[in-house]
Structure 1
Amino acid sequence: MKRLTLNDIFTEDDELGLLPVDTSSARTGQTNRRTGLDLLKEAERFVENNGRLPRHTAENHEEMCLSAALDRLAQNPSPAIKKADRLGLLARPNLPSSPPLPDWRDEQAFTDIPHTLKDILDDDDLEMDTSIFSLRHSSPAAERAVPEHQATITPCANFQDYEALFETVQQEITNGLRTARRVRKNQILEPAEGDFFIRNGLIAYVAEKYEKTYRHGDREHRLRIIFSNGTESDPLMSSFRKSLTEDKTARFISRIGLGPLAGSETVANATGTIYVARSLSEVPSIRKLRGKLYKIGVTSGDVRRRVADARNDPTFLMAPVEIVATYTLVNLSHRKVEDCLHRFFAPSRAILHVRDRLGKQIYPKEWFLLHAELVGQAAHLLQKGTLHLHTYDPHQQAIIRKEASS
């Protein structure tokens, strides 16, 4: 196919009329620029059509430009222009003018300007569905983030039961039986019962660790920490872990035995407390069992602090509880006592499930359908060392000797 040249293109029929060019102005040296007479006639037409002079503050660009051009023309008009000024526009006659453009400052008084979001929402002219500001299907962030009970450092009431243990650990570190390893920043720690740490210059003993709930997607625990200066605290494990990693002097004291798998010795005369709790939950399926359903728990710390955050703890059915009874134990491991009581009353264990704050379904195993005073009887037999000679009959709701049941 032959390629077209420019001559071929220009000699073709121009169906759309795109090619003809008016070159008259170029030949004569004239331009399309408006003369002073043209501007004057244009201004006269504007005045006749609008009844006023063009305004230099007008929103219309052409009117604004016409006003500026008329001002320049009036400064030094030629005799021909003065003669052609039949409306006397160059003298700026007192023609009617339209009202000035509205200014936002004039729309309302300065005191009426809203200063807060509440002022805007209270405006009667604002139609808005206020239900969009109501929090539904979720608890407030402050309620989720802040537990009902926060850990504090208090004097340890039974520090005499632990004092000899701290002295032994200090001697073992001196003799080389134990080593104190530095806790690195960002190190993942899993404190266990019986572990020793050095924090803020004090030896910290993990006396108790019990399951709490799911917080921010992770299983959380609360610890009972005894310090070598005679104080104690019950922080969440995540808080205790953070305090260790942020302390540049923090150390983990190694265990004695088979490396990290060996547990520490128990305190010879440690005291624990068995507690019986009644749920105050308003959930219908739980409320109808009130007076029959009890939680059996054992702690080495203060019972009131143990249940303080019950409404956030699935093991407490995510509701406050009332302590019905407490029984003191001496020279017995609280963890072993709890396991023993739960196995003893297993025939009356209640099958329950609750959802934690993240919606995960939890099955607490510490709730039983029995008479509360039976726990006291079992605690008495346990302290005497004769509980193994008895059995629990769920049909009679009684503790009987094994010989009598045979």
Structure 2
Amino acid sequence: MSRPSLEDIFAEDDEFGLLDVKPRAGRGGPSQDRGVAALLEVTAFYERHSRLPDPDAMDHDEMRLGAIWDTVKLTPTDQMRAVDRLGLLNEDAAPTPRSWQDDPVDADIPDSLDDIFADDDLDVDPSLVSLKHTTPSAERHVPDHRADFVPCQDFEQFRERFETVQRGLEAGERKASPVRKWSVIEPIEGDFFIRNGLLAMIAEKSEMTARGGARDHRLRVIFSNGTESDPLMSSFRKSLNDDKTARMVQKVGLGPLDPEWESDQLELSGTIYVARSRSENPEIKGQRMILHKIGVTSQDVARRVADAKNDPTFLLAPVEIVATYSLKNLSRSKVENLLHRFFAVARPELTVNYGGRRISPREWFHVLPDHVGQAAKLIEDGTLHQYRYDPASQRIVPKN
């Protein structure tokens, strides 16, 4: 039996209708069907995202849909207009979104951060843009006093000491040792250093204070070029560590037991000052007329108290100088210690809060300026030990 040909096969009855195939509409078929399908898909996208698809989008599906839409919307049909319930075919109502690759329009560029945060469409929690735990610029710590270099008005009384140390260095009687990095230096009055090529002498080391929450001293440093400065001891120490050429000048003698070892100690005259606080703290303001600070300094008194409002030693408030008494041929440090011990019975319990710590200044007393003047005269006469201060009667009286 021979095999049937294709003609024989197609000539047979098509019992199952397998050969009854309708021709498929090609790409050149009715364009309105493709346009309506695209419009419906774009309508669904717009309802989800409130915008038209972007043909330049990074997402592939959105990019494909955007490209199709850009094509079909150019030739809308009546069928497309009939199903355009959102009016997407009206370009004015729904313009094509700008691409992220396009240059920004000048009007869209904000001029400042304030313009950005003032945008009505930007819903930002105020707590995210408000600064907390930060001191406003108007209230930030701005010291009234800086340790600048100023001419030393009494340099003549130090000149011979500088010349002696310089001769000792040149003759080899003194040595200049490098300051080791991060070494802890505790200068005392009379110590010499070399800083930035100049001889520097510690002329005064004031009473203990607490700056930045740490215990510290204010120094008076005289330089061989006739200038002086009054940095905090910690600042002076840091300047030595930062200067690679800094040196410590060796003392004369063989050690602390050698009598010559103390020859650099200063026995400078100075000024006793009595300061009154101008604090608005009710506790201090209520006793202002009887509460006074007793200090002794070898530098200008006004410069010594210039930064009082930032110094816990001065109760973190400005002060006014109500009396000064000159010292001549007397040790400044010894006079200060004598006065503080003499009036110790009139020392109140004062505390100030500084840097989260409670600090108790020890230089304030319930005395009058005249009392300090009387005590200074007794020190000069060498008879202070014969008297005592009576806080009950507020008088200096002879010892029994």
TM-score (norm 1): 0.72
Aligned residue type for 2:373: G
Aligned residue type for 2:269: T
Partner Cα separation in structure 2 for residue 63 and residue 122 of structure 1: 32
Deviations along 1:238-279, whole A, 9 cap, x unmatched?
3322332333332111123453795453345x2211111111
Partner Cα separation in structure 2 for residue 332 and residue 63 of structure 1: 93
Identify the match of residue 362 of structure 1 among 359, 367, 378: 359
Deviations along 1:185-237, whole A, 9 cap, x unmatched?
4433222222101123322110112233232x533322101122322111222
* Within-5 A mapping of 1:313-328: 313-328=311-326
Q: Which residue of 2 aligns with 1:228?
A: 224
Identify the match of residue 165 of structure 2 among 162, 169, 172: 169
Deviations along 1:316-366, whole A, 9 cap, x unmatched?
11111111111110111111111100000011001111111x211111111
Q: Which residue of 2 aligns with 1:179?
A: 175
Q: Which residue of 2 aligns with 1:381?
A: 378
Q: CA contact under 8 A between 1:52 and 1:98: conserved in structure 2?
A: no
Shift of 1:131: 11
Q: CA contact under 8 A between 2:195 and 2:247: conserved in structure 1?
A: yes
Identify the match of residue 209 of structure 2 among 208, 212, 223: 212
Identify the match of residue 252 of structure 1 among 248, 251, 256: 248
Q: Which residue of 2 aligns with 1:47?
A: 35
Q: Which residue of 1 aligns with 2:269?
A: 271
Shift of 1:297: 0.7
Aligned residue type for 1:287: K
* CA pair 180-385 structure 1, distance change in 2 beyond 3 A: same
Q: CA contact under 8 A between 2:191 and 2:264: conserved in structure 1?
A: no
Q: Which residue of 1 aligns with 2:46?
A: none
Partner Cα separation in structure 1 for residue 172 and residue 218 of structure 2: 31
Partner Cα separation in structure 1 for residue 61 and residue 107 of structure 2: 38
Partner Cα separation in structure 2 for residue 156 and residue 372 of structure 1: 28
Q: CA contact under 8 A between 1:274 and 1:297: conserved in structure 2?
A: yes
Q: Which residue of 2 aligns with 1:292?
A: 290
* Within-5 A mapping of 1:320-339: 320-339=318-337
2:154 maps to 1:155: no
3-state DSSP class of the match of 2:217? Answer: strand
* CA pair 372-41 structure 1, distance change in 2 beyond 3 A: farther
* CA pair 53-246 structure 1, distance change in 2 beyond 3 A: closer
Q: CA contact under 8 A between 2:39 and 2:69: conserved in structure 1?
A: no
Q: Which residue of 2 aligns with 1:101?
A: 96
Identify the match of residue 338 of structure 2 among 334, 337, 340: 340
* Within-5 A mapping of 1:4-43: 37=25
Partner Cα separation in structure 2 for residue 141 and residue 190 of structure 1: 36
* CA pair 102-272 structure 1, distance change in 2 beyond 3 A: same
* CA pair 42-169 structure 1, distance change in 2 beyond 3 A: farther
Deviations along 1:145-204, whole A, 9 cap, x unmatched?
x53211122222222222222222233334444211122344332222221011233221
Aligned residue type for 2:111: H
Q: Which residue of 2 aligns with 1:25?
A: none
| The 10-residue stretch of structure 1 (158-167 or 113-122) with the greater mean CA deviation from structure 2 | 113-122
Q: CA contact under 8 A between 1:196 and 1:252: conserved in structure 2?
A: yes
3-state DSSP class of the match of 1:259? Answer: coil
Aligned residue type for 1:352: L
Shift of 1:40: 6.0
Shift of 1:300: 1.1
* CA pair 67-386 structure 1, distance change in 2 beyond 3 A: closer
Partner Cα separation in structure 2 for residue 396 and residue 308 of structure 1: 34
* CA pair 137-279 structure 1, distance change in 2 beyond 3 A: farther
Q: CA contact under 8 A between 2:203 and 2:266: conserved in structure 1?
A: no
- For structure 2, which runs of at least 5 residues remain unmatched after alignment? 1-22, 43-51, 82-88
Q: CA contact under 8 A between 1:353 and 1:364: conserved in structure 2?
A: yes
Q: CA contact under 8 A between 2:190 and 2:202: conserved in structure 1?
A: yes
Partner Cα separation in structure 1 for residue 179 and residue 138 of structure 2: 32
- For structure 1, which runs of at least 5 residues remain unmatched after alignment? 1-34, 73-88
Shift of 1:62: 5.8
| The 10-residue stretch of structure 1 (147-156 or 361-370) with the greater mean CA deviation from structure 2 | 147-156
How much identity, in percent, do the aligned residues show?
Answer: 49
2:375 maps to 1:371: no
Partner Cα separation in structure 2 for residue 296 and residue 67 of structure 1: 85
3-state DSSP class of the match of 1:289? Answer: coil
Superposition RMSD in Å: 3.8
- Alignment length, in residue pairs? 346
2:237 maps to 1:238: no
Q: CA contact under 8 A between 1:207 and 1:226: conserved in structure 2?
A: yes
Q: CA contact under 8 A between 2:193 and 2:201: conserved in structure 1?
A: yes
Partner Cα separation in structure 2 for residue 134 and residue 70 of structure 1: 48
TM-score (norm 2): 0.73
Q: CA contact under 8 A between 2:219 and 2:231: conserved in structure 1?
A: yes
Q: CA contact under 8 A between 1:209 and 1:223: conserved in structure 2?
A: yes
3-state DSSP class of the match of 1:242? Answer: helix
Aligned residue type for 1:158: D
